Homo-oligomer: A and B are copies of this chain.
Amino acid sequence: MVKVINVRQSVFEENNKIAMKNREFFDSLNLFVINLMSAPGAGKTSIIERTIDALKEKFKIGVIEGDITSSIDAEKLEKKGIPTIQLNTGGECHLDANMISQAIENFNFNGLDLIIIENVGNLVCPAEFKVGEDIKVMILSAPEGHDKPKKYPLMFMESSALLINKIDLIPYIDTDINALIKNAKEINPNIQIFKTSAKTGEGIKEWTEWLTEKIVQKRGNI
């Protein structure tokens, strides 16, 4: 019998071990960690800015920025006085646990309450890699269309919350929001859905109240 090695499986197993260590580190600091995922240009950075504006009186917040090569978003956040570290993946289309463990080695997390990890813009691979987060949250930009849960099911399956962003564009596009919600719930009946606009601020209150509850829940448990 030839020994068969499922390379992909072993990649995930190794990744999960490191993710568990990252999670233990974050737990030890009483830190709530979100792994924020979306396609390119769905509004991750703008939603992070809105979220920080809404929660900065309650919590100390830091950001881990994942990008292929640039540091545009990290610089934008740093200008606003938000503790930020940039991870450049050098071509990889997602963050993995090992990359986050490098952030842990190079960034001071003491005194923070919430970390938002902005993953690389991609609806596929980021959903496959745990990084040590408490929850995964995804953003779908309304113009991307209502068929996306059927085409990219894993991310919808893995996410605790879905923000349907750029909701202000609804009058001008063909996306059927009710069909989108139905398609998302079919893949993941437990997914919490918020209709948001980082531009107008719509839905940010509902999203950040839900998030506050999650953060407080974790702190209660520790």
Instruction: Spell out A's residues near B (CB within 8 Å).
Output: 39-42, 67-70, 72, 91, 93, 120-125, 128, 141, 143-145, 147-148, 150-154, 166, 168-169, 172-174, 199
Contact A39 B143 (CB under 8 A): no
Contact B143 A169 (CB under 8 A): yes
Contact A69 B39 (CB under 8 A): no
Minimal beta-carbon separation of A180 from chain B (angstroms): 11
Measured CB to CB, the nearest residue on chain B to A7 is: B7
Q: Is the interface of A mostly helix, strand, loop or mixed?
A: loop
Measured CB to CB, the nearest residue on chain B to A168 is: B172
Contacts of A144 in B (CB 8 A): 40-42, 141
Report the 6 A-B pairs with minimum CB-CB distance, sorted nearest first: A41-B144, A93-B124, A39-B40, A41-B145, A39-B39, A40-B123
Interchain residue pairs with CB less than 8 A apart (20)? A39-B41, A39-B121, A39-B123, A40-B144, A41-B141, A41-B148, A68-B124, A68-B153, A91-B124, A91-B128, A93-B122, A93-B124, A93-B125, A122-B122, A122-B123, A122-B124, A143-B166, A143-B169, A169-B169, A169-B173
